[in-house]
Structure 1
Amino acid sequence: MVDEASYRILSLLQQNPELTQRELAQALGVSLGKANYCLRALLDKGWLKAENFRRSDNKTAYLYVLTPKGISARARLAVNFLKRKEAEYEALVEEIARLRKEVGEGSAPD
C-alpha cells in the first residue's frame, strides 16, 4: 500500500507541482497529517524536492518537483501498480464467472 500511495502522490505532483499539502490530502482522501508524512518520506528518499515560489505573496507556498530519482521511481511504481491491478481484475473476472455459474445453477429468480 505504501507503493500505491507513493505512486499516487508522485503522479499528482508531476501533473500539478503547485498543489498544496491540503489539496494533495483532499485528492488522496487522507488527512493533512498523513499527506505531510508521505511528502516528507518522499523528500527524504530524494524523489521530490520542494522549492519556494519566488514570486508568490505567500512565502510558505511550495512547488513540489520530481527529481530524476523520483521520475524513475514513479515509472517503476507505475509498472508494479499496473501488475497489481491486472491481477485484481483477473481475480474479479474469475469470481464473477463463479457467481454467474452459481446463480445459474440455483432456482429461478422470483
Structure 2
Amino acid sequence: MSEPDTYRLRLLQIVAASPDISQRRLASELGVSLGKAHYLLRALLEKGLIKAEGFRRHGNKLAYLYLVTPSGVAEKIRLTRTYLARKEKEYESIRKEIEQLRQEVAT
C-alpha cells in the first residue's frame, strides 16, 4: 500500500468517525501540515469519495460537514482489505523472525 493510499484510508476513517472535523484537527490527527491536509481533502472531494456541506457553527464562523459517499465507502473497504493483507504478511514475517531468535537464544 502506497503512502497516498495510507493517507486516503486514514482520512476516510477519520471523516467517517467525525464528519464535522476541522481541517486543523484533521491535519493534527494525520500528522501532516494544514496545507497537506487541505490538499488530501481536496483530492478526495474531486474524486467524489467525500462531499462537503456547509453549515454554521458558533455565530458567523462557517464550518463544513464532510460526508463519505457510497463510492468513498467502497474505496475505504478496498483500502482496508489491502492494508490488512499487508499487515498480516508483516505479522507473519515478524512472527517467524521472533521464533528463529528464540531458537538461537535457547541453544
Question: After TM superposition, is the score higher than 0.5?
Answer: yes
Q: Which of 14, 20, 33 matches 2:16? A: 14
The structural deviation recorded for 1:86 is 0.7
The structural deviation recorded for 1:102 is 2.5
Q: Which of 41, 57, 69 matches 1:39? A: 41
Runs in 1 of length 4+ with deviation above 4 angstroms?
none
Q: SS state of the match for residue 90, structure 1?
A: helix
Query: TM-score w.r.t. structure 2 length?
Result: 0.88
User: Which of 1 and 2 has greater Rg?
Assistant: 1
Structure 1 distance, partners of 2:36, 2:71, is 22
Report the RMSD for the aligned CA atoms in angstroms: 1.2
- Superposed CA offset, 1:1-32 (max 9, x none): 22111111101100100011111111112221
- Superposed CA offset, 1:47-105 (max 9, x none): 0111111x42212x111111111111111111111111111111111111122222233
Aligned to 1:64: 66
Aligned to 1:4: 6
Aligned to 1:76: 78
Query: TM-score w.r.t. structure 1 length?
Result: 0.86
Structure 1 distance, partners of 2:15, 2:87, is 22
The total of aligned residue pairs comes to 103
Gaps of 5+ in 1: 106-110
Q: SS state of the match for residue 49, structure 1?
A: strand
Q: SS state of the match for residue 52, structure 2?
A: strand
Q: Aligned residues: percent identity?
A: 50
